Structure 1
Amino acid sequence: MSKDTPQRLDPAAIVTSALRIADAEGLPAITIRRLAQEHGVTPMALYRHFRDKDDLLDALAARLLADIRLPEPSTAPWAEQIRAVLAACLAALRPHPTIAGLIPTRVLLSEPGLTLVERTLALLDTAGFPPDQATEIGSQALCSLVTLVATEPGLTESTDPDTRDDAIRAKRAALHALSPQRYPHVIAAADALTLCGDRDTYYELGIDFAVAGIRGIRPAARTTG
């Protein structure tokens, strides 16, 4: 049997490899050629399963969306249920900050994504928001979660512990060196600005902002067709 025989190539395994590479090195590190080499096949073998890199990224987003464990529907107030949905999304996104940005533009391309959107829109409908407004609110909420994950303080530093610590110390020192007359609050917050001290608190605050923001929006008048 040729090494390029399609049966030997598991698309799910390819996506798993792509996920590992993206987590370690970022999305630009994912190439069809590299994945083919890792699985002992030629690039043409991968093209039998993925039309191009964009198709592979679609599959990568679908994998991430499939990891979202939505809570069961309940009789709790809609705001509490929205909070639970956002928390479930964050739980899946947090381990993969380098690929979280794939989700907003690909959420409608897979069954797990459609399920997430349907649940969110249903809850926003319960809150009184018409479809157009609910869609915009849901989109903004999802993008806010992606931003939280991608911009966690200290996350962009090197994965090497020593290099990372040196970079954080340098940033902290630069902030402490600022003029205390002009930037007293920046200096006081230097530690928080350079490193996420409590990750759970950081993400809980992000969800608080999202839910409070939704609660503060007045539902638009529903149009009759």
Structure 2
Amino acid sequence: MTGGTKPDRGRLDRDTVVARALALVDAEGLEALTIRRLAVDLGVTPMALYWHFRNKDELLDALVEHLLGTVTLPELPAVPAVHGRDWAEQLHAALTAFAAALRPHPAIAPLIQARVLFSAPGLALAERALGLLREGGFSAEQAAQIGGYLVGAVVTLVVAEPGVSAEPDLELRDCHTRARQAALRSLSPSDYPNVIACAEPLTFCANGDAYFAQGIDLLVAGVRGVS
């Protein structure tokens, strides 16, 4: 069980199912999510869930839609900047909001890229990013390519944050981190002095906020550099 009280069987709705599914994935990983397991967790029969989702793919679509719905895009300025000079700053803010929504759910993040265009909140995010890229002087084709890259890059930042993974067992995660650090520190100092010096930050992120801020900075600087 993922904890909490079971819902009233007569009041089981789509939002309740999605919320419990997300809690299950956060606690135990994506592999733990099955219709049967979720039904047990909710205290209902699998058929009760099939009223809301015909299969697991539809449930995953709903999880992604829910997660994208938590992205709080910043308000656009009432008056556009002269010659669109602030498009990169606005893109930075949008990517930061996107990353903030994904960070608590690294197990779900890998599902985003293939599903981002198939829900209203995903389309809203795409429209904002593509519009800003077009404002920055990119063609429709370039904007589409760069936009897809940026979504994948933010997902990668979330999934690859050192010391943070989809592994739900914190003790096991810490054990893996320590083992990776020990393996790097055991390398030959003459061959890999810099890898050894960076062993801790390569395997553990001491400041998640700084990690994401630097990552978004690099992404936006790269886009600005080719505009």
TM-score above 0.5: yes
Measure how far apart 1:66 and its partner are: 0.3
Q: Is the 8 A contact 1:154 1:168 kept in 2?
A: yes
1:187 aligned to which of 167, 188, 196:
196
Q: Which residue of 1 aligns with 2:53?
A: 50
Measure how far apart 1:6 and its partner are: 8.7
Label 1:165 to 1:35 Cα distance change in 2 as closer, same or farther (>3 A). closer
Secondary structure, aligned partner of 1:107: helix
**Distance across 2 between alignment mates of 1:83 and 1:158:** 29
**Distance across 2 between alignment mates of 1:157 and 1:35:** 18
Q: Within 5 A, what are the aligned runs for 1:121-200?
A: 121-156=130-165, 160-200=169-209
Measure how far apart 1:157 and its partner are: 8.2
**Distance across 1 between alignment mates of 2:146 and 2:11:** 44
Aligned length: 214
Q: Is the 8 A contact 2:14 2:52 kept in 1?
A: yes
State TM-score, norm by structure 2.
0.88
Q: Which residue of 1 aligns with 2:71?
A: 68
Match of 2:226, as an amino acid?
A: I
Q: Is the 8 A contact 2:9 2:43 kept in 1?
A: no
* Structure 2 spans left out of the alignment, 5+ residues: 1-7
* Structure 1 spans left out of the alignment, 5+ residues: 219-225
Label 1:161 to 1:12 Cα distance change in 2 as closer, same or farther (>3 A). closer
Label 1:39 to 1:141 Cα distance change in 2 as closer, same or farther (>3 A). same
Deviating more after overlay: 98-107 vs 163-172: 163-172
Secondary structure, aligned partner of 2:117: coil
Match of 1:21, as an amino acid?
A: L
Measure how far apart 1:161 and its partner are: 5.0
Q: Which residue of 2 aligns with 1:112?
A: 121
* Percent of matched pairs sharing the same residue: 54
